[in-house]
Structure 1
Amino acid sequence: MTKHRLQGLILLPIAAGLLLSTTGCSAVIDAVHRTHQETFTDRAAAERGWVGVDAPTWLPADAADIHDLATDDESQAVILAHGSSPLPSTCQEADRRGIPFDTASWAPVLDRFPDRVARCGDYEVMPVDGGWLGWFSATEAGQRPTAAAR
């Protein structure tokens, strides 16, 4: 092996590390964990561009700066929507069954989750400072959330 080739092999991991540290590792992390993330300016943009399933109907009318992290098979999702509008009347208070499957950099840091949440169709939703945090967790193989609040 030539000296230049050996140097190239040594420098390759260093260059890759530098590239990852400067290009937003969330894309790499998403690929490894088989997840995808989306951000939308408002509810209308979310309804047009939601990936994988329909945008959840529980998103308040004034929802803005909406973030979504979901598994590629849509079996798990966590959503943060900023806004002060109430949830739709189809959302009903219920016992919490789960918690979000993952934490994204945009998610609020919570010490604990309430025992009661709003059940909005297949989603569990709770108020957070300045908005709403919702999540979906499949309870059987192949299950994906439906958009409509039941």
Structure 2
Amino acid sequence: MPSTPRIRTAAAVPLAAALVLVTLTGCADIQDVVQRQASGEFATRAELVQDWKKQAPWLPADAQSIITRESTITDEASLTTLSDADLDPAQCAEVERRSAPLFTLEHAPDVYKIERAFACGDWSVVATDDGWYGWTPNHPAEKAQSPAS
């Protein structure tokens, strides 16, 4: 009686496990694990400060509907927020943009079309139509010009 070749059986096990994982957790979660990324949503700045492992001290007090995307193995992160407030000049200074986010977020502007950004410590930030889009880390030349450095 012919037996099933081991290579086919061995290949089927990971495939079956992946299908079960997709069914249980959804495609976005699997993509996050494979790409070593995490996403988050926070209603307010206070919620972000309390629950997010990273820090964004430049974020205005009125920030809401905050969406984050970050690496699970490095310090890279991006976030968008709704806000009517200006950035704090004690934290941020307008500079030539020299960095770009590793993670782009839906509805965020294309930073490659923007020549100037705000350097806010380790973060670079640009205005959106209804708030702010920030990423970290920024370029050392940007960080050096930030009042928060």
TM-score range normalised by the length of the shorter chain? 0.7 to 0.9
What letter is aligned with 1:49? D
Determine which structure has greater relative contact order: mean sequence separation of CA pairs < 8 Å that are 6+ residues apart, divided by chain length. Answer: 1
The residue number in structure 2 matching 1:37 is 39
Structure 1 position 35, deviation (Å): 1.6
Give a deviation string over 1:61-101, Cα, whole Å, max 9, x none: 11001111111234211111111111111200111111111
The residue number in structure 2 matching 1:143 is none
Report the RMSD for the aligned CA atoms in angstroms.
3.1
The change in CA–CA distance for 1:48 and 1:34 in structure 2 (over 3 A counts) is: same
Structure 1 position 125, deviation (Å): 0.2
> TM-score, normalization: structure 1?
0.73
Please state whether the residue corresponding to 1:57 is helix, strand or coil.
Answer: coil
Matched, 1:133 2:133: yes
Unpaired segments ≥5 residues, structure 2: 141-146
The change in CA–CA distance for 1:25 and 1:107 in structure 2 (over 3 A counts) is: farther
The residue number in structure 2 matching 1:114 is 114
Unpaired segments ≥5 residues, structure 1: 141-147
Could you tell me how far apart the structure 2 residues matched to 1:97 and 1:111 are?
A: 10
Please state whether the residue corresponding to 1:59 is helix, strand or coil.
Answer: coil
Could you tell me how far apart the structure 2 residues matched to 1:23 and 1:107 are?
A: 25
Could you tell me how far apart the structure 2 residues matched to 1:40 and 1:84 are?
A: 17
The residue number in structure 1 matching 2:70 is 70
Please state whether the residue corresponding to 2:32 is helix, strand or coil.
Answer: helix
The change in CA–CA distance for 1:130 and 1:18 in structure 2 (over 3 A counts) is: farther
Could you tell me how far apart the structure 1 residues matched to 2:60 and 2:39 are?
A: 20
Structure 1 position 22, deviation (Å): 8.3
Aligned residues: 136
The residue number in structure 1 matching 2:85 is 85
The residue number in structure 1 matching 2:98 is 97
Matched-pair contact (CA < 8 Å) for 1:76–1:138: no
